[in-house]
Amino acid sequence: MLSQKLCQVVLHVGCRTLSYPGVLSASVGQVDTLGAPVVRVWSTLLMEVIHDWRDDESVAILQAVRRAAPAGAKLLVLESIVPEDPGPDRSKTLDIVMLTLLGGRQRTRQEYEEILAQSGFLLQREIDTHAGISILEAEAV
């Protein structure tokens, strides 16, 4: 499974993935954005989740993840990152689709860094997969 491989390769830990309707996937537990009790998680993977939501909603989701994550826990966010430079890019086209259909948006690395910081995470690095998607590794602070 992709999430298990990412935990092994990026975080150098083993993991199991729990996924339920209405609940975000987490490597060692579950995170409920509706305020239900949560278990402590040391690593969480969100793939193409945050781009579905406005900034305030994205921060709320990330804050829910942070409530379940002790200091030092890792968060992997897999998203298409909008480049800062002008010119055509697949992520910019996807941004228009997200804005018009769902109200969400694609973001630049700087924008992700800002919403992560508002949610109690520090962006540590961006891993470009060279497949139109990046892995943002953040740590709970």
Set 51, 66, 105, 107: catalytic member: 51
Do the Cβ atoms of 141 and 121 come closer than 8 Å? yes
Residue 130 designated active-site = no
* CB neighbourhood size of 2 (10 A): 10
62/17 Cα distance (integer angstroms): 18
Distances (CA, A) of 68 to 25, 32, 62, 77: 12, 9, 10, 16
CA-wise closest residue to 16 among 36, 38, 37, 1: 1
Give catalytic residue positions. 51
